[in-house]
Chains A and B, each alone.
Chain A
Amino acid sequence: GEEVAQTPKHLVRGEGQKAKLYCAPIKGHSYVFWYQQVLKNEFKFLISFQNENVFDETGMPKERFSAKCLPNSPCSLEIQATKLEDSAVYFCASSPILTGGNEQFFGPGTRLTVL
C-alpha cells in the first residue's frame, strides 16, 4: 500500500495481559521501525528491521517486548504481561532501502491503554 497501516487503532488491556500490535509497511520499503510515544510527546525508539531481520534492537525492553517481521505477513510488536507504564501510542514507520532507512514514513499509531 501507499501508507503505513497499523492495527488496531485502540487497544485496552488489563495489567498482566498480552498485547499484540500490527504494522503493514509501505509496499517496497525494506526497513520497519517501532517507536513508543509516552505522554503525548516523548518518542522512544524500540526496534528496527531490515526485511525480516532485526537491524537494531537497542531500545527494546527485552523482558516483555518482542517483535517480528515475517515474509508476507504484517510486522508485529508483542508485549507480554503488560504494565501500566506501557500505556502509550505505538508508532510504526517504514523506509525505502535507497535512503538507508533514514527517511521514515509513519503510520497512524496504535493507542494502548493498560488498566
Chain B
Amino acid sequence: AQSVSQHNHHVILSEAASLELGCNYSYGGTVNLFWYVQYPGQHLQLLLKYFSGDPLVKGIKGFEAEFIKSKFSFNLRKPSVQWSDTAEYFCAVNFYNAGNMLTFGGGTRLMVKP
C-alpha cells in the first residue's frame, strides 16, 4: 500500500530561523500533493498544493514546497518562521490509483520559541 512519511515528528526553532519539513511518499505514479496546517485548537487548513506544472509551489503565509519527483519528496520550507507558525503540519498525498482519498503523513509538531 502507498504510504506517506514525515521523518521529523517534533521540531523546535527560534523565531527567524529557517524551516524545512520533510515529506516522502512511496509511489512512482502520478500524485497530487498537499501540505495542511493545524493550529492549536483549530481544524486543518490547506497551506499549499501541487497538481502539475512548476514543481516549486508557493502557498499562504510565506510557505513554499518543492516537488522532486526523482526523490518522491515534497518538502515544506519557510525562510524565517514566526512564533505564530507554532502548529502541527501534515503532508498529504492523493495517489492516482487510489481514487480521490488523501493519505496523510504522521504530522510534524513545530514549536517556535519567541
Q: Which residues of B contact A105 (CB under 8 A)?
A: 46
How many B residues are at the interface, by size bracket? 20 to 34
Q: How many A-B residue pairs have CB under 8 A?
A: 53
Segment at the A interface, from B54-62, B70-78, B98-106: B98-106
Residue ranges of B at the interface with A (Cβ–Cβ < 8 Å): 32, 34, 36, 42-46, 49, 51, 88, 90, 92, 94, 99-104, 106-107
Q: List 12 A-B contacts (CB under 8 A).
A: A41-B106, A42-B106, A43-B104, A45-B101, A45-B103, A48-B101, A58-B101, A95-B100, A102-B32, A103-B49, A106-B36, A108-B42
Residue ranges of A at the interface with B (Cβ–Cβ < 8 Å): 31, 33, 35, 40-43, 45, 48, 55-56, 58-59, 91, 93, 95, 100-109
